[in-house]
Structure 1
Amino acid sequence: MGTEWINGFPQSNMDKRPRKRPRLTWDMPPVPPSKVLPAIYCGQEYVTGAVSSYAYSSLYYKGMPRNGSPPWRNDDKDGHYVFAIGETLNRRYRILNKMGEGTFGQVLECLDYETKELVAIKIVRSIHKYREAAMIEIDVLQRLAKHDVGGRRCVQIRNWFDYRNHICIVFEKLGPSLYDFLRKNSYRSFPIDLVREFGRQLLESVAFMHDLRLIHTDLKPENILLVSSDYVKVPDYKFLARPTKDGTYFKNLPKCSAIKLIDFGSTTFEHQDHSYVVSTRHYRAPEVILGLGWNYPCDLWSVGCILVELCSGEALFQTHENLEHLAMMERVLGPLPHHMVARANHHAEKYFRRGARLDWPEGATSRDSMRAVWKLPRLQNLVMQHVDHSAGDLIDLLQGLLRYDPAERMKAREALRHPFFTRDLRRCGNSS
């Protein structure tokens, strides 16, 4: 069924960042074209949030039984639940749209008949290990909800149930992820004042989790969702000298900077085993790659990588290989500390010559790999290419978050006291 996206961004650009596998995208719901209503907001074109799916769902699903159970179907070959638009889950949730899919299962946009609220339901594959992981995630979500007064930091769990051998977790419905926003905005970076607001909220959420002795372990732009899908279209000043007929030289900015963390399927408690590999590649800390074990600081390394990406529009370390990843780190941040290299486990020691110097470029797999490393600038130069004011404060903050030694890395609450957040700078109009 063909649909358009609410507040839809350009779809022509392919994902420029290499990925290990397609990631879940929590996206904006579909709406008939006539429901996207332009308006004027502060002298700029403002794209409004469209009419609720509850209001237009009858246009699509007229004649469907309201609470009838769908016929029994076998799962697909990978254990995913097989559904049809308009059917109900657990006699309460009407399926409106598929929002995304991942290794764990799929996420559906649904209407809750009891509350008349739009919700996102994560339907986990009917495989034992994923069901077990889902129950752990539910435990984490309930722990977070108990302490997150006002529900400002993390996505809120509404309900959960076991349906036809699938664990289903019901969440509040949020807007697109920061990664989706960047991708559909042609990878145009966010203004520094908006990055500041995102960074402040992200660090507050991380500090909140760490206070509860929880480590997220998979922080990345895909797992940070805007609360609202609304955005404003503004001129992109880098291209003002060029024609603007097709709107290519405008960029979109979120109307509201409020964000929440999602995806706690990999979250661990402080007392659990911390020896295995965690984090999506681009945001993985050096201690994880070197097999040194990890703890709270691995989340702060990820935050540093995320802030660079929000400022530049591109992932800082675009790689899928450990040796290339370490070489990129050294290119941007300088050499790895000898004491960390000396303690590298037997899987990682092969990346070093005589146990000291990184085996680079001798160990590079290709010339393309060598070029990918050599084209990277130092951290200071990279920030100054994309940030006008506040560059000095941001560089200093990033140097604290991206310290190799996790024992010396800045903590979340320490980062929140950094001048990048506390200095009395004039705020731009789109930073709130």
Structure 2
Amino acid sequence: MATECAAAADLAPGHRRKRARLGWDVAPATKAQIGTFCGQEVGDVTSLVLSAHPMDHTCSSLLSKGVACNASPPWREDDKDGHYVFAIGENLTSRYKIYRKMGEGTFGQVLECWDRESKEMVAIKIVRAVRKYSDAAMIEIDVLQKIARNDAAAKHCVQIRNWFDYRNHICIVCEKLGPSLYDFLRKTGYHPFPTDLVRELGAQLLESVAFMHGLQLIHTDLKPENILLVSLEHVKLPESKGGSLSRKLPKSSAIKLIDFGSTAYHHQDRSYIVSTRHYRAPEVILGHGWSYPCDIWSVGCILVELCSGETLFQTHENLEHLAMMERVLGPLPRHMLERADHHSQKYVRRGRLNWPDGAATRESIQAVVKLPRLQNLVMQHVDHSAGDLIDLLQGLLAYEPSARLTAQEALSHRFFTRYDNRWSR
């Protein structure tokens, strides 16, 4: 999200400097600037400038009552989890007007707002007033600014517009994009994407990852929820020869990465757990540490999900997760299992995965048994170029991180180079 602050230099490991925050609603206003309406302090109505946007249609009625349309809302307590409490139509500083809620997560909320200054809709991430989330937001701002300085074409990642501290909430203003790939799949009944579209999405995803890795950045949380279509537009294509059935697909394949709150610099400590469960690489689960290849594993899982409509490793438990990997991809290398850290040693017995003996339930065993091998899974959903996709996925999902394809190597794979572009960006 571009900031009003000067871009900071990259920081040495262990010495990340917190940025000074831009404050709103902090300094008391002078008497000349304050009016009251029902006990609420508001801005100077004589300096009121009305926006032409329909979101400000209430301004004229407020003005007649002596209230500025860019007035701050009343002070409220955050909810019990530290989320900012708001109402649709209120202001977020005098510059932004809240249009709707776009989403919510553990980090906070994302609101669609009208930017009175730039005359455009923007997405504002309002972070919970909790220290760890505020700290992550400041890291995300650093990363977004570094990305903006190095991505002149603005084609790889969401672009930062601004950031500020509002009532103890870090707010990150970004360009407004379309739905996430996950939301698109969910709203279309998890219907798989056509292979040509998967190819286009995969190429862009790998381009974005290669771009980040070139900046020595590791995203660490790649998943369909964090990949957004640039456009809201979609098309309906016939699904049967008679054309009686149709399916909704994105009109454009253009995508951008979002959510850099977990992004790590290559020189940072990498001993902690990263990635959302279903997209987590084996070296992370086994406690080996991680680097750029953990992003590549996530890309492989994402491509399978896009072409099948289903999460590849649908699990919430480590041993079951490793067993699912072996079911789909074959046995884990003995040397990787033997290097498991003290937290993961319980998953290993005599140099092999302790499965099914260590399974928690019979249902867990059944969940693993029903999974197909990677080749069979792909061939169930891909007609042409199935062999090329399988070969690519085997390179992206190699167990040994050093044997995994890099993003640049993957872009040169025949799955991408052998076929013409059939989907518009």
* TM-score normalised by the chain length of structure 2: 0.84
Q: CA RMSD in A?
A: 1.8
Structure 1 pair 360/161, CA: closer, same or farther in 2 (3 Å)? same
For each residue in 1:322-361, what CA deviation from the matched residue of structure 2 results, as whole angstroms up to 9, or x when unmatched? 000000000000000011111100111111222x121111
Of the two, which has the highest radius of gyration? 2
User: Partner of 2:398 in structure 1?
Assistant: 403
User: Partner of 1:101 in structure 2?
Assistant: 104
Q: Give the alignment of 1:248-287 within 5 angstroms.
A: 249-287=245-283
Q: Give the alignment of 1:51-66 within 5 angstroms.
A: 56-57=54-55, 63=61, 65-66=68-69
CA distance in 1, matches of 2:400, 2:58: 55
User: Partner of 1:49 in structure 2?
Assistant: none
CA distance in 2, matches of 1:55, 1:73: 27
Q: Percent identity?
A: 72
Asked whether the equivalents of residues 305 and 312 of structure 2 are also in contact (C-alpha less than 8 Å), the reply is yes
The number of aligned residues is: 370
For each residue in 1:192-211, what CA deviation from the matched residue of structure 2 results, as whole angstroms up to 9, or x when unmatched? 01001000000000000000
User: Partner of 2:127 in structure 1?
Assistant: 124
2:413 alignment partner, one of 404, 415, 418: 418
User: Partner of 1:371 in structure 2?
Assistant: 366
In structure 1, list runs of 5 or more residues that go unmatched: 1-53
Question: Shift in Å at residue 427 of structure 1?
Answer: 4.6
Partner letter of residue 396 of structure 2?
Answer: L
Asked whether the equivalents of residues 61 and 86 of structure 1 are also in contact (C-alpha less than 8 Å), the reply is no
1:301 maps to 2:304: no
SS in 2 for 1:194: helix
User: Partner of 1:77 in structure 2?
Assistant: 80
Question: Shift in Å at residue 78 of structure 1?
Answer: 1.1
1:217 maps to 2:213: no
SS in 1 for 2:403: coil
CA distance in 2, matches of 1:210, 1:75: 37
SS in 2 for 1:188: coil
CA distance in 1, matches of 2:390, 2:424: 20
Asked whether the equivalents of residues 114 and 121 of structure 2 are also in contact (C-alpha less than 8 Å), the reply is yes
SS in 1 for 2:402: coil
Out of 72-81 and 192-201, give the one that drifted further: 72-81
SS in 2 for 1:167: strand
CA distance in 1, matches of 2:142, 2:325: 35
Question: Shift in Å at residue 250 of structure 1?
Answer: 2.3
1:204 alignment partner, one of 199, 207, 217: 207
User: Partner of 1:8 in structure 2?
Assistant: none
In structure 2, list runs of 5 or more residues that go unmatched: 1-51, 63-67
1:140 maps to 2:143: yes
CA distance in 2, matches of 1:431, 1:272: 38
CA distance in 2, matches of 1:321, 1:300: 21
Q: Give the alignment of 1:337-376 within 5 angstroms.
A: 337-354=333-350, 356-376=351-371
CA distance in 2, matches of 1:214, 1:263: 13
Asked whether the equivalents of residues 194 and 431 of structure 1 are also in contact (C-alpha less than 8 Å), the reply is no
Partner letter of residue 383 of structure 2?
Answer: D
CA distance in 1, matches of 2:60, 2:288: 58
CA distance in 2, matches of 1:371, 1:268: 37
User: Partner of 2:386 in structure 1?
Assistant: 391
User: Partner of 1:4 in structure 2?
Assistant: none
CA distance in 1, matches of 2:266, 2:309: 33
Question: Shift in Å at residue 304 of structure 1?
Answer: 0.3
Structure 1 pair 291/62, CA: closer, same or farther in 2 (3 Å)? farther
Asked whether the equivalents of residues 159 and 175 of structure 2 are also in contact (C-alpha less than 8 Å), the reply is yes
**Runs of 4+ deviating beyond 2 Å:** 54-66, 425-428
User: Partner of 1:235 in structure 2?
Assistant: 238
* TM-score normalised by the chain length of structure 1: 0.83
